[in-house]
Amino acid sequence: MPNTHTTQSPLTAFVDALPKVELHVHLVGSASVPTVLELARRHPGGPVPLTEEALRDFYVFRDFPHFAEVYLAVSDLVRDPEDVATLVVGTARDLAAQNVRYVELTVTPYSHQRVGMPMPAITEALDRAVRDARERHGIRVAYIFDIPAEFGEDAARGTLDHALNHPPEALVGFGIGGDESVRAKHRDAFRDAFTAARAAGLRSLPHAGEMTGPETIWEALEHYGAERIGHGTNCLADPRLVAHLREHQIPLEVCPTSNVCTGQVATIADHPLPHLLEEGLYVTLNSDDPPMFNTTLTGEYRAAAEAFGLGAADLADLARNAVRASCLDAAGQREILDEIDRVAG
């Protein structure tokens, strides 16, 4: 009889066992296919399909604006605080199964405010979900509140109000996502929001340089006080920016499969990840919106290894980068770094 047993390669086994930290993953974008189908059937009549096959077709994106349209449609299915808590705990479960020890989960509270959820109720759900994630799945969850840029000044005010006046206990950062091309129209509102958030002790963790050029990254650095950059891959177009990022070791939250799925690059092989590494930049690997892009954080490590010939030592270094770039306290970082060293040793 033929041997049908599939032997896992040593590198694949290493990636699976590697303790990880996820810095760039969105709450709504992390909703599993069954969860989205359940929400769509609970709230029918919208554009989100009701069958798995149709939903997977729905998740084939023409470009970033189309992705943003689909993301908003799914987000609008999250109608009550219990839905929010369910998404957080589900994400924690999925990440814990990949040996992820800590996640900074991006939440867009303005989207939930728009469908009528009161801020205190959202916060209560987020707080409860952190406790449940730790108790059920052994993973630590922190939150980043981000402004959906396409909603302009109202979104900036609503996100900041929630962050300052009804913050969840695990809130560590303040960000901005969505369509980068509209930021100039609301420049002062976004700058003011980041100034106030930073004054309140939140870390500045914006998206920038994903679908626009280096100018968006400079804006984030110079006017948002960015400590990390979500995506940032288009920095390579500006040698002065590359030198600045390298000198100051500003971490980049790189999401290769996401960039392929939203049309920023044609294929994984075309991704600038190896060039970012060659330039000595501070790179972390992340999954962004994993079910929408048919990926996982483990899948991103595997893809990087396969596409660019990264070995176990390279992948362990990327995992260490994510730990050190996180908002975890020194003791929490040391715990995960020691575990990575044991697996990599």
Which of the residues are catalytic?
210
Residues 6+ away with beta carbon under 8 Å from 201: none
Measured between alpha carbons, how far is 267 from 259 in angstroms, rounded to an integer?
A: 9
Token pair of 118, please? 């009161």
Measured between alpha carbons, how far is 172 from 168 in angstroms, rounded to an integer?
A: 9
Measured between alpha carbons, how far is 335 from 287 in angstroms, rounded to an integer?
A: 23
Residue 306 CA: distances (Å) to CA of 211, 213, 300, 301: 25, 28, 10, 9
Token pair of 234, please? 């288009």
Instruction: List the one residue out of 15, 8, 198 whose CA is nearest residue 100.
Output: 15
Measured between alpha carbons, how far is 328 from 221 in angstroms, rounded to an integer?
A: 22
Return the ∠ at Cα 233 (arms to 71 and 222), rounded to 5°. Answer: 95
Token pair of 221, please? 């650095």
The answer to whether the CB of 182 falls within 8 A of the CB of 211 is: no
Measured between alpha carbons, how far is 99 from 78 in angstroms, rounded to an integer?
A: 27
Measured between alpha carbons, how far is 72 from 61 in angstroms, rounded to an integer?
A: 13
In sequence order, what DSSP letters do the residues of 140-156 get, joined into one string? EEEEEEEEEGGGHHHHH
What is the H or E stretch that residue 130 is in?
Answer: helix 119-137
Which runs of consecutive H residues, i.e. helices, occur in 52-186?
52-58, 64-75, 81-96, 109-114, 119-137, 152-165
Cα-to-chain-centroid distance, residue 321? 15
Measured between alpha carbons, how far is 203 from 163 in angstroms, rounded to an integer?
A: 12
